[in-house]
Amino acid sequence: MDDLKTWTEFWDYKKTATKLHHMLVIIHPFLNGNGRWARLVTDIWLASQGHETLEWGNDNLVDINDDRSEYIQALKEADKGDLNRLQRFMFPEK
């Protein structure tokens, strides 16, 4: 929670939400459903800050599809320290 408070103070909400989501995925508290849980908590945080919740791609991220593949690749890049692809996935230009 201290990290989240610091991120919120110094970063814009998009970067904060991206970092929050990635850290929640890393925690991996469940055998199954970790991504769904992390997306839900991220959306709850966004709503609590007065922002819109996310679409998380156009397809179901549980089933194998292009959006899921992009999401997984973005998480892998975030694991290596680059959050840019994940942020673009979460907040696509409209």
Q: What is the CATH number of the domain that holds 14?
A: 1.10.3290.10
Domain that holds residue 39: 2-90
Helix, coil or strand: residue 30: coil
Distance CA 39, CA 82 (A): 19
Instruction: Check residue 64 and give left, alpha or beta (phi > 0: left; psi -120 to 50: alpha).
Output: beta
pLDDT of residue 59: 66
**Number of domains into which the chain is organized:** 1
What's the rounded mean pLDDT across residues 6-17? 93
Chain segment 22-81, per-residue pLDDT in tens: 999 999 889 888 999 999 999 999 999 999 999 998 767 877 889 999 999 999 999 999
The tokens 């990290």 sit on which residue?
Answer: 3
Q: How far is CA 8 from CA 2, 19, 77, in A?
A: 10, 10, 22
Predicted structure pTM score: 0.89
pLDDT higher than threshold 90 for residue 82: yes
